[in-house]
Amino acid sequence: MEFWLDLNDEQRELRDWVHGFAESVVRPAASEWDEREETPWPVLQEAAKIGLYGFEFLANTWADTSGLSLPVTNEELFWGDGGIGMAISGTSLAVAAIYGSGTPDQLFEWVPQCFGDASDPKVGAFCSTEPEAGSDVASMRTRAVYHEATDEWVISGQKAYATNGGIANVHVVTASVDPSLGSRGQAAFVVPPGTKGLDATKKLKKLGLRASHTADVFLDDVRVPGSCLLGGKEALDKRLARAREGQRRSGQAAMRTFELSRPAVGAQALGIARAAYEYALEYAKTRVQFGRPIIENQAIAFALADMRTEIDAARLLVWRAAWMGRNDKPFSAGEGSMSKLKAGEVAVSVTEKAVQILGGAGYLRDHPVERMYRDAKIYTIFEGTSEIQRLVIARAISGVQIR
């Protein structure tokens, strides 16, 4: 499929529909749930009622062969609010893990349980990061041991910063099954609802995205049936055997695993950045100082010009990477990481400029730009720090194992 920058009628309808929900439901609730620092269950229920929260909607966006429906959706949702946006979209992390590694039967069994239904919405959690293994994935300490007699896996370890950790109906947990193989000796497991041995801290207090639940998760001899190993044991045994024999997948194949999700995350940052830019632009048109609107001052006008330019540039990188991933184009220069790197850093820069344009007012909670500023910062940290994105890009363009 050719890359095309103009959205088709269906994509425009999707964009406008999500924007309407963000404007009428998300934005009016944003300040309240940021202050409460609680999961906005009523908003999730409203999203589920209209079909915006659920596997069917996610599947439809993924089915778009242009790859643009998901980033378009994320931009509009996070334009409404970053914290509530993450509360709605956080479940997709667990779903993506099940979709990426699971069998069709596992997909059919577990994904609906991640979402629940409109009358009783649920959330899912993907638990991968650890206190000593964030960017250093190969250092994962959580272990999974297979007990053949009972056909069970026993999982023990600790996960950090898990979105929806502890409150999720379904947890997807990564663990090492052969530590000697590093990251190639790891697998993903579904921990079903009510499984004993899984516990979590209270909701962590965060700088931003406060409406999204984040917690550390502890696994103490958590026993799950053999069927909960995503992909199945036969596939795992074959993969481990290849790794032990020294066979290596191509660097591009390994890179794509991480690259594919990054444009969607970049689109979230874009939404926050655009919201801050639009608010600052309107403020600059109406705020009068020295007898004229402040937008008539070059310093303000040029700052807004830079903000808009950077947002549009980041969107082009996000859309390109989303299209490439959906159409199996090789990320020969780390294009997925480029999109997330640019969008994350633009979000931080633009929201900071928005606060500056509003001056003292921007520092007050009476205006939303201070919340947007707080929400933006995480996008240079999670889903791969800016430094890791640069490392991926540098390795891709140089062919050198830069450390």
Side chain identity at 212, as an amino acid letter?
S
**Looking at 2, 32, 383, 387, which residue is catalytic?**
383
- Residue 62 burial class via C-beta count within 10 angstroms: exposed 0-12, middle 13-18, buried 19 and up: middle
Locus of tokens 């632009």: 281
Q: Measure the CA–CA gap between 264 and 276, rounded to whole angstroms.
A: 19
Residues in the chain, total? 403
Q: Which of 208, 262, 261 is nearest to 83 (CA)?
A: 208
Secondary structure (3-state) at 225: strand
Torsions phi, psi for 312 (to 5 deg): -65, -40
**274 with 307: CB under 8 angstroms?**
no
Can you spell out the DSSP letters for 113-156? HHHEETTEE--EEEE--BTTBSS-GGG---EEEEETTTTEEEEE
**190 with 141: CB under 8 angstroms?**
no
State the DSSP H helix or E strand holding residue 388, giving kind and residue range, or none if neither: helix 386-398
Q: What share of the chain is helix, strand, coil (3-state, %, to 5)?
A: 60, 15, 25
Whether residue 23 lies in the annotated active site: no
- Residue 204 burial class via C-beta count within 10 angstroms: exposed 0-12, middle 13-18, buried 19 and up: middle
Q: Are strands 170-176 and 124-127 parallel, antiparallel or unpaired?
A: parallel
Q: Measure the CA–CA gap between 268 and 377, rounded to whole angstroms.
A: 12
Side chain identity at 79, as an amino acid letter?
W
Q: Measure the CA–CA gap between 311 and 339, rounded to whole angstroms.
A: 11
Side chain identity at 205, as an amino acid letter?
K
Measured CA to CA in angstroms, residue 140 lies from 147, 176, 201, 251, 320 at distances of 21, 7, 20, 20, 32
Q: Measure the CA–CA gap between 94 and 126, rounded to whole angstroms.
A: 5
Catalytic residues: 383
